[in-house]
């Protein structure tokens, strides 16, 4: 690399310079600044006390149901959540 070439001239020569901060969100921005948060969803989040991006990141689910494993009806336990696959025929 030529030491005489400045960083600015190399950046201007490269059309595809990536700006890492262009897609960044400040933690104190409103939750509506997140692309997937619609006004209706923002209203539901506000009812749960979530107003900022920080609130979204610090809100953890109360429970997690793992539906990645399937079980037959015979293997399913009474009173527990389970996922099964089947087909109905006439």
- Three-state SS string over the chain comes to CCCCCCHHHHHHHCCCCCCCCCCCCCCCCEHHHCCCCCHHHHHHHHHCCCCEHHHHHHCCCCCCCCCCCCCCCCCCCCCCCCCCCCCCCC
Give the mean model confidence (pLDDT) for residues 60-89.
84
Asked if residue 30 is part of any domain, the answer here is: yes
Asked if residue 75 is part of any domain, the answer here is: no
Asked if residue 70 is part of any domain, the answer here is: no
Asked if residue 7 is part of any domain, the answer here is: no
pTM score: 0.49
d(CA 20, CA 24): 7
What is the pLDDT, as a whole number, of residue 52?
Answer: 93
Q: Give the domain extent around 32.
A: 24-60
- How many domains does the chain fold into? 1
Asked if residue 48 is part of any domain, the answer here is: yes
What is the pLDDT, as a whole number, of residue 66?
Answer: 79
Asked if residue 13 is part of any domain, the answer here is: no
What is the pLDDT, as a whole number, of residue 56?
Answer: 92
Write down the mean pLDDT value for the chain. 80
Q: In terms of pLDDT, which residue wins out, 59 or 64?
A: 59
What is the pLDDT, as a whole number, of residue 51?
Answer: 94
Asked if residue 33 is part of any domain, the answer here is: yes
Asked if residue 37 is part of any domain, the answer here is: yes
Give the mean model confidence (pLDDT) for residues 24-52.
91
């Amino acid at each position: 690399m030529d030491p005489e070439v400045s960083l600015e001239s190399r950046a201007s020569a490269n059309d595809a310079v990536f700006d890492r901060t262009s897609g960044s969100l400040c933690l104190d921005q409103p939750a509506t600044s997140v692309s997937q948060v619609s006004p209706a969803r923002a209203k539901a989040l506000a009812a749960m006390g979530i107003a900022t991006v920080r609130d979204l990141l610090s809100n953890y689910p109360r429970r997690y149901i793992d539906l990645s494993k399937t079980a037959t009806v015979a293997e399913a336990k009474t009173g527990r959540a389970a996922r099964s696959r089947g087909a109905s025929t006439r």
